[in-house]
Structure 1
Amino acid sequence: MSSASRRRPWDVHRLPSAEGSTFLVTGGNAGIGYFTAEQLAATGAHVVLGSRDRAKADTAMASIRSRVPDAHLSHLPLDLADLASLKSVADRLDLDHLDAVVHNAGVALDDPPRRETGDGHELMFGTNHLGHFALTQWLAPLLSAAPAGRVVTVGSFAARSERLDLDDLQSTLDYRPKRTYGRSKLAQMSFGFELDRRLRAINSTVLSVVAHPGGALDSLTPSRPPVSVTTAAERLRALPAALLVQGKDAGARPVVRAVLDPEVRGGQLWGPRVFGLRGTPRCEPVPAHMADAEVAARLWAASGELTGTDPDLGFR
């Protein structure tokens, strides 16, 4: 019998051991990031929660430990909207290698006015995309030192209907919050696929994988007080929506598989099985506009100029 035929099917409730590994989850104190951290902690890995707010990170770690008593957790102060602060990330981690980073943290604004980071970048594009773009450079030596490092970029179903305006990446001319958010997530996903192309070109051992949670609603998410609370009434009202979407605990599963599964390959897109909105994780086709290498190369060049990073992001 071949090893492939003997391989146990992926089970979201029986994750493989990752003892001895270290994973950094940006925005690990809430939402998809919290459940990604909780699920990864159950594998025996050291999970670092990257978060601006120490109190929220402490609350999240306490919640995880209430479910995973022997969880190995730590907090990394991390502000993706402050590019200069990211330069010291590797030193502050104090590790000899990093097995994976999950680029998850993000900002979503629903209403005008347009806001900017301290560096003068539109807040959603600057945090969701540029912050993670720059962070990758400072983590590159640690990822390259791992036996098989991974960069897992968390995108969004919202990016499917958007297209990048390379002449107005920061929505200076035309700002519409929901569209700007979708484009910031598209920029992240385009970056993830372009990073893989560049890593393969230099025969790097690091993989770049993209994942998305599908449709993930708070009202279908199990409570994790005081991190998040979903009442019975809220869950009851949301039951009809469960035919199409899911909670954030389930939404984290494609991300977790992208981190852990040894069968995952660079350049893949992982999402929920049913219409990309709900269900168990699966590898899905990459939409053409996300795989456009010419657009990605122009985005990469612009991102490098805006962040002042190495054109190769430190990978050699």
Structure 2
Amino acid sequence: MSSPSARRPWNVRRLPRADGSVFLVTGGNAGIGYFVAEQLSATGATVVLGSRDAAKAEAAIASIRVHVPDARVRAVPLDLADLPSLEATVGALGVDRLDAVVHNAGVALDDPPRRETADGHELMFATNHLGHFALTRWLMPLLSAAPGARVVTTGSFAAKSERLDLDDLQSRKGYRPKRAYGRSKLAQMSFGVELGRRLRAAGSTVASVVVHPGGALDALTPSRPSVHPRTTVGARLGAAPAALLVHGKDAGAWPAVRAVLDPSVGGGQLWGPRAFGLRGEPRPEPVWSHVADTSVAERLWDASRDLTGVDPGTVIG
């Protein structure tokens, strides 16, 4: 029998119900993560925002409830740069199963100097990749307890032109913020694909899907007071020509939302916007060759295990 999604075209504005499901969105208090959380809240699911800033999380919850009055939404403290705290964060979820996690939170630095976490890891690599790698280890028992759970990893178009330097994952040599950011997102995407491969090999019911938002501009994003302030008329007019190629952060959330909800989305797939990978409704696309490189992914996995002291592979099953 074909799935409901196979019988009906996917409609980004008419999502299927997900009552009884529990979804965690890291960085769900701002940007694309906020719109992922808002859209998932409209399905009847319980949505948990992982945020390191309690005040911003409460503002996001209040905004979601304005747009989804019956939203079941709450927050847990989450600081992906603080690796020892992540096990306690998962305990604070207070659930016996998790239907999906959207690995969305990220740090993007525009200017030098290079910054490190308390553990001595470069900040963007630590937050965008290592934190999600370690968090997955602690979440895996909850994901395995849910039928057909999803790990959805949000990458970036910035990763498409980058390549990992496996001998300098921490960007200690020739540090450039934009390059370090792109590589951290590439590491995150490579992990998502490799996680999917290992889950399938183990016969797990958990699926790992990688998505990217395309080009998502603030000026094309609908206003959410206290979360995403209204852009000026001048900024909106200035961004109008760009709307032919890119879209707002609300649309940038669509691939992740579909990867969570659509049963036809398969593990190991990459989803992005339909038009040139930059704007429009979500579609599957070929996994970028450098993201699909298993030899690089295996070396990255081993390095991530050594740097974090945990291994998601030990709890896959």
Shorter-chain TM-score tier: over 0.9
Which amino acid in structure 2 is aligned with residue 77 of structure 1? P
Cα pair 1:89 1:139 within 8 Å, conserved: no
Q: Which residue of 1 aligns with 2:237?
A: 236
Give the conservation status (yes or no) of the 8 Å contact 1:137–1:310.
yes
Alpha-carbon distance in 1 for matches of 2:169, 2:5: 47
Cα displacement string for residues 25-84 of structure 1 (whole angstroms, at most 9, x for unaligned residues):
000000000000000000000000000011100000000000100000010100000000
CA contact under 8 A between 1:89 and 1:138: conserved in structure 2?
no
Corresponding residue for residue 314 of structure 1: 315
TM-score normalised over the length of structure 2: 0.97
2:268 aligns with 267
Q: Which residue of 2 aligns with 1:258?
A: 259
Q: Distance in 2 between matches of 1:159 and 1:250?
A: 19
State the partner residue of 2:143: 143
Looking at structure 2, the residues matched to 5 and 45 of structure 1 have their Cα atoms a distance apart, in angstroms, of: 18
Residue 2 of structure 1 and its aligned partner are, at CA, apart by: 6.4
Q: How many Å separate the matches in 1 of 2:275 and 2:311?
A: 39
Aligned to 2:29: 29
Alignment of 1:19-98 (within 5 A): 19-98=19-98
- What does residue 194 of structure 2 align with? 194
Aligned counterpart, 2:118: 118
Partner of 2:103: 103
Q: Is the 8 A contact 2:134 2:312 kept in 1?
A: no
The 1:197–1:235 alpha-carbon spacing in structure 2 relative to 1, beyond 3 Å, is same
CA RMSD, aligned part only?
Answer: 1.3
Equivalent residue number for residue 279 of structure 1? 280
Percent identity reads 74
CA distance in 2, matches of 1:6, 1:279: 20
SS at match of 2:290: helix
8 Å CA contact 1:39, 1:256 repeated in 2:
yes
Cα 1:94–1:55 shift into 2, 3 Å: same
Separation in structure 2 between the aligned mates of residue 168 and residue 2 of structure 1, nearest angstrom: 47
Correspondence for 2:206: 206
In structure 1, C-alpha distance between the alignment counterparts of 2:186 and 2:180, rounded to whole Å: 10
SS of equivalent to 1:161 = coil
Which consecutive residues of structure 2, in runs of 5 or more, have no partner in the other structure? none
Displacement of 1:201 = 0.9
SS in 2 for 1:174: coil
Change (3 A) 1:231 1:302: same
Matched, 1:288 2:276: no
For 1:192 and 1:2, how far apart are their aligned partners in 2?
Answer: 27
* CA distance in structure 1 between the aligned counterparts of 2:311 and 2:267, rounded to whole angstroms: 21
Length, aligned pairs only: 316
TM-score normalised by length of structure 1: 0.98
Is the contact between residue 3 and residue 263 of structure 2 (CA under 8 Å) also seen in structure 1? no
Q: Report the residue type matching 1:266 in the other structure.
A: G
Quick one: distance in 2 between partners of 1:278 and 1:292? Answer: 26
Query: Is the Cα–Cα contact under 8 Å of residues 121 and 170 in structure 1 kept in the other structure?
Result: yes
Aligned partner of 1:194: which letter? E
Which segment drifts farther, 11-20 or 86-95?
86-95
